[in-house]
Amino acid sequence: KQEVTQIPAALSVPEGENLVLNCSFTDSAIYNLQWFRQDPGKGLTSLLLIQSSQREQTSGRLNASLDKSSGRSTLYIAASQPGDSATYLCAVIYWSGYALNFGKGTSLLVTP
């Protein structure tokens, strides 16, 4: 089974800190990897999409990297803000299919 694991499951940091969320996957034959944000009672918001041929993507204070050989992706959030509090989900699409294979997420709390 193609597993996607996110560590840590929960994280609490003070405002202003830089932080890293981790995502690991067991099969290196990935098509792409996408990071999402989920707010309570709301849908998933796409943050960044990294194609298998790319090493990283950046959007504002967010930077996502991809290392297929080690089966890892990281989401770096710079200068965290209370508004960043949410659950962050990593999802992988493998060459074997079209489904997004989700990790269980990291619940982030940024305190003022």
Partner 1 sequence: EAQVTQNPRYLITVTGKKLTVTCSQNMNHEYMSWYRQDPGLGLRQIYYSMNVEVTDKGDVPEGYKVSRKEKRNFPLILESPSPNQTSLYFCASSLSAGSTEAFFGQGTRLTVV
Q: Rule CB under 8 A: which residues touch partner 1?
A: 31-32, 34, 36, 41-46, 49, 51, 89, 91, 93, 98-100, 102-105
Closer of 41 and 112 to partner 1 (Cβ): 41
Closer of 50 and 110 to partner 1 (Cβ): 50
Closest distance between partner 1 and the C-beta of residue 65, in Å?
18
63: phi then psi, degrees, rounded to nearest 5: -140, 125
Closest distance between partner 1 and the C-beta of residue 82, in Å?
22
Q: How far is CA 47 from CA 27, 63, 82, 90, in A?
A: 23, 10, 17, 10
Closer of 18 and 46 to partner 1 (Cβ): 46
Q: How deeply is 112 buried, as exposed, middle or buried, from its count of CB atoms within 10 A (0-12, 13-18, 19+)?
A: exposed
